[in-house]
Structure 1
Amino acid sequence: MPRHFLTEQIVHNLTCPPTREHFEVFDAQLRGLYVDALKSGRLMYRVRYRERNRYRVVTLGDARLLTLDEARQQARTVQRCVMQGGDPKLAMVQSWHEDMALSDFFWNHYLPYVRSYKRSWKTDAFIFGRHLGPLWGKRAMEAITEQDIAALIRCLRTQGYAPASCNRLLAILRYMYTLAIRWELIDASCHPAKAVRELKEDNRIERYLSAEEAHRLLAAARTSLNAQLADLVGLLLYTGARRSEALRARWCDVDRQQRLWRIPLSKSGKVRHIPLSAAALALLNRRFAARPAEEPEQGYIFANPATKRPYTSFTESWKTTCARAGLAGLRVHDLRHSFASFLVNAGHSLYEVQVLLGHANSRTTQRYAHLSRERLFNAVEAVPTIGASEPGVG
């Protein structure tokens, strides 16, 4: 069995030979500690010890989550327990329970794990750094109670935070405790966030544009000092795309022959295709014809002329344009909402709206399905006249 003075680099570069199920490399510095490289690609720290003439093994944890120093410290805890005749597995659990502070778990265990797959991990880090870390960072996870979490949610609401923001913080806490229990870093009975109820969210957006308001908005955008604003607003209205999708759009993503716009990485994490209307296609054809000849097809459709990178924000020009159009308070996302409303008012099904907006869940589409008053009046007129009301009756 190979033995090395382990380093972080040696550990992280270990792989299992293709002909074996796992491959063990022992630490020359601390007897019994080794890294187990599994065929599946996982790396686990384990410590082997001898008890009653038999070799036994305690798994310390994922080598991509634990540092080498942490693994050595935990291995020493196991060895001391064996020398004293105790149960090393129980000693490890008790040690973790006593020492696992919330900040320690978040930065050293939770965040490295979610970064590998979660696109919004930076949001998790921001929420923790803004609210949870300063308040409970040094507190042991098992010392935080359900009452503590409920009090924090109430405090955030009194400070003006929306229910959705409070629920996002609660979801992060719940997942942290779920992972800590799964990895046996805290006791399985300790899950204070589990019983805290989420706040009711009312995310229905009632603001959407009429055709006349959309016309006013585009007319105002054409007078903006931001020369790209009118086309950007037009594309959002014609396609229902998200702001980030439009800002990051590249010419190579647009098939003008097939009239399709490919979104490489949408909010759902999947590729989706947006069919282009005649108006959207004309807008893009005009921009394509006017672009500099030296601009590569991988370039952004709405690139900053100075940096050739996409704009990150157009807040000021947007606010000025909305005020000029008499639509103060209108949000960019309301253009997406208006796109859906135009479709529904034209008689298209919610399924069509769902596909065009790229919603994975049909319930999300319901918030955009607003009918105009004219369609509602037309709907009630479909009921036949049963009989004329007689004077004095009723």
Structure 2
Amino acid sequence: MSIWDDKKGRKHIGIMVDGQRVHRILAPGATAGDAKRIEAELRAAMAKASGSSPQLGDMPMTTALHLYIQHAASLRSASTSEQHALRLAPWAEKYTAAQAREFTAHAVKDLSTQYAPATVNRSLATLKKGLTIAWERGLTPENFGLRIKFVPVNNKREVFLSIEQVGQIAQHCTKQVQAVIWAALLTGARRGELVKIRAEDIGPDTINLPSSHTKTLKARVIPIIPALRPWLVYFPTEVGVEGIKTAWQRARVKAGMEHVNFHDLRHSCASIMLGLGVDLYTISKILGHSTVQTTQRYSHLQVDAQRQALEKLGNLMVKVS
């Protein structure tokens, strides 16, 4: 037994590699996960020092999660990343790194009853990264992260709102939330980008979004149109992301449109512009897409409009014949 508790409740680690024995006493309050992580690191360090290869195929999966959480501390969305990782904790306690494939099957089966595929994949991605970090540090003999496969995701949504429908939802919100809603429709900006707008970002004719405030990490300039200008007095908004989420959810229920997501405002911005004859390249620049290929998801709307126009032409031919 390499890990045990003494009478005072302190955790001990005792391992032997190539005839060398190491004993560590952990600080009071250390968890079983801490002990397993330190054990794996000690084995790897001793194996490296002796020139032998570490045999760590049975490294606890919880160790990989700990490694990822340490890595996530340096990310822009550290708390969110950690939350995605901790979602896997109940299953990680039951498996080892070498059982990544079995772990994935079990976790996906249980999580899929509570979360959307995209959310499940975000959690799996944290463990995949943690296992990769373990391999890069020499804690495992192979990259067990390669055994984790993501679940299929269909992110395509066909929900496009008219200006009238947006108004029906917005009327149930405060003026501050209404400002964010109309700004989303009139600029195509994401909710996270809108809540980060500062007073100095708003110029006489444009809104400048710094690269640190956009999803693509690319700065963007948004023209201010007359319809948007009255709502800019409510920016910077005093309502946070969670407040907007709650207000939107209540408003869409009152409007009888429970199926509508806030992000559909961005899609609706694109669909309305397409209906007005705006080309896909211009729309891609307005939405801040990295490439025009991302905007191709709206191309079927363009084809539908062309079909309707040709059908009208065809109807004239029928009348003539």
- Which TM class, normalised by the smaller chain length? 0.7 to 0.9
Offset from partner CA, 1:166-194 (integer Å, 9 cap, x none):
32233333322222222221012x52x52
Aligned-pair CA distance for 1:154: 2.8
Aligned-pair CA distance for 1:230: 2.5
Q: Distance in 2 between matches of 1:72 and 1:121?
A: 24
Q: Counterparts in 2 of 1:254-333, with a 5 A limit?
A: 254-256=202-204, 258-263=205-210, 264-284=212-232, 287=233, 301-303=236-238, 310=240, 312-333=242-263
Q: Distance in 1 between matches of 2:241 and 2:80?
A: 20
Residue in 2 aligned with 1:110? Answer: 68
Instruction: Assess if the C-alpha contact under 8 Å between 1:205 and 1:367 holds in 2.
Output: no
Residue in 1 aligned with 2:138? Answer: 184
Is it true that 1:350 corresponds to 2:280 in the alignment?
yes
Residue in 1 aligned with 2:190? Answer: 242
Residue in 1 aligned with 2:175? Answer: 227
Instruction: Assess if the C-alpha contact under 8 Å between 1:208 and 1:337 holds in 2.
Output: yes
Q: Which stretch of structure 1 is more off in the superposition, 228-237 or 260-269?
A: 260-269
Instruction: Assess if the C-alpha contact under 8 Å between 1:99 and 1:140 holds in 2.
Output: yes
Q: Distance in 2 between matches of 1:376 and 1:72?
A: 63
Instruction: Assess if the C-alpha contact under 8 Å between 2:64 and 2:131 holds in 1.
Output: no
Q: Counterparts in 2 of 1:27-46, with a 5 A limit?
A: none
Q: Distance in 1 between matches of 2:294 and 2:42?
A: 49
Residue in 1 aligned with 2:111? Answer: 156
Q: Distance in 2 between matches of 1:387 and 1:138?
A: 70
Larger radius of gyration: 1
Instruction: Assess if the C-alpha contact under 8 Å between 2:191 and 2:241 holds in 1.
Output: no
Q: Which stretch of structure 1 is more off in the superposition, 379-388 or 209-218?
A: 379-388
Offset from partner CA, 1:100-150 (integer Å, 9 cap, x none):
32222332x33323433x33443332232222x2222374423x1423322
RMSD: 3.5
Residue in 2 aligned with 1:376? Answer: 307
Aligned-pair CA distance for 1:251: 1.2
Change (3 A) 1:281 1:183: same
- The one-letter code sitting in structure 1 at the alignment partner of 2:82 is A
Secondary structure in 1 aligned to 2:213?
Answer: coil
Q: Distance in 2 between matches of 1:147 and 1:389?
A: 68
**Structure 2 counterpart of 1:212, from 159, 164, 178:** 164
Is it true that 1:134 corresponds to 2:90 in the alignment?
yes
Instruction: Assess if the C-alpha contact under 8 Å between 1:341 and 1:370 holds in 2.
Output: no
Residue in 2 aligned with 1:170? Answer: 124
Change (3 A) 1:214 1:351: same
Aligned length: 282
Residue in 2 aligned with 1:45? Answer: none
- The one-letter code sitting in structure 2 at the alignment partner of 1:112 is Q
Task: Determine which structure has greater relative contact order: mean sequence separation of CA pairs < 8 Å that are 6+ residues apart, divided by chain length.
Answer: 2
Q: Which runs of 5+ in 1 are unaligned?
A: 1-68, 82-86, 289-299, 305-309
Q: Distance in 2 between matches of 1:210 and 1:261?
A: 27
Residue in 1 aligned with 2:102? Answer: 147
Q: Distance in 2 between matches of 1:347 and 1:359?
A: 19
Secondary structure in 1 aligned to 2:221?
Answer: strand
Q: Higher helix fraction: Structure 1 or Structure 2?
A: 2
Q: Distance in 2 between matches of 1:72 and 1:202?
A: 39
Instruction: Assess if the C-alpha contact under 8 Å between 1:302 and 1:311 holds in 2.
Output: no
Q: Which runs of 5+ in 2 are unaligned?
A: 1-37
Aligned-pair CA distance for 1:248: 2.3
Residue in 2 aligned with 1:338? Answer: 268
- The one-letter code sitting in structure 2 at the alignment partner of 1:150 is A
Q: Distance in 1 between matches of 2:40 and 2:149?
A: 37
Instruction: Assess if the C-alpha contact under 8 Å between 1:344 and 1:370 holds in 2.
Output: no
What TM-score, normalized to structure 2?
0.72
Change (3 A) 1:261 1:184: same
Instruction: Assess if the C-alpha contact under 8 Å between 1:102 and 1:137 holds in 2.
Output: yes
Residue in 2 aligned with 1:366? Answer: 296
Is it true that 1:89 corresponds to 2:51 in the alignment?
yes
Q: Distance in 2 between matches of 1:375 and 1:98?
A: 59
- The one-letter code sitting in structure 1 at the alignment partner of 2:84 is I
Q: Distance in 2 between matches of 1:145 and 1:327?
A: 41
Change (3 A) 1:370 1:279: farther
Residue in 2 aligned with 1:293? Answer: none
What TM-score, normalized to structure 1?
0.60
Instruction: Assess if the C-alpha contact under 8 Å between 1:242 and 1:333 holds in 2.
Output: yes
Secondary structure in 2 aligned to 1:269?
Answer: coil
Change (3 A) 1:380 1:261: farther
